[in-house]
Amino acid sequence: MYEHPALIAQVKTKQKVVAITFDDGPNPHYTRILIKLFEEYDAKATFYTIGQQLEEHREVAIAAHEAGHELGNHTYSHPHLPELAYEQQLAEIMQTERLLIDITGRKPTTFRPPYLEFNETVIALIKSLDYQIISALNLKTEDWREPGVDQILNFTRAYVAPGSILLFHDGFGDRSQSMEAVRILLSEYTAQGFRFVTVSELLLLQEN
């Protein structure tokens, strides 16, 4: 269940801007690779971070923030939110929010539900906390399965368009295929005149 009017997967804009997002970090190896890679292309990313990973790899999150990337909320322990009681859902979100405020100095403004699982209670809670709920267009890519660089690229290229939000993973497991695919995408689409911005920057470019 991935579709809901409250979830944002694309922003209406004529500008050639795309937001690349990464879930489940920060990761001491792969997140650092991405920070260097995006710097090469003067590009920015959004990292949907897990609180437990923030506690373990705080210095990586600080490095991403200082490099100009956005840190979004992806809960504290990556649970199936619809299966939790309301108080547990709230705790999952707020625990990570506090960690991100401590790291960045400000409240995160975008949220991605783990597994993109939600129900109306989850949606209502997230919106009540003043978060924009972020999905993505290339969900069939499933880079977390390590399906091969070619498949990641094939399932992503069709969705590279003005205003698109794309999803990959930098946490848990071997993410080398994702790193290589994103490197190729940055090279290809920068050459075509695309800019890569944070989700919050993309949302500001929404046209009526």
List the structure tokens of 9: 């997967």
Q: How far is CA 188 from CA 19, 77, 191, 193, in A?
A: 15, 35, 5, 9
User: Which of the following is catalytic: 150, 169, 170, 174?
Assistant: 169
**24 has catalytic annotation:** no
Cα–Cα distance for residue pair 66/113, rounded to 1 Å: 25
**169 has catalytic annotation:** yes
Mention every residue, 6+ apart, whose C-beta is less than 8 A from residue 185. Answer: 20, 153, 156, 157, 160, 166
User: Which of the following is catalytic: 23, 24, 143, 170?
Assistant: 23
Q: Which residues are catalytic?
A: 23, 169
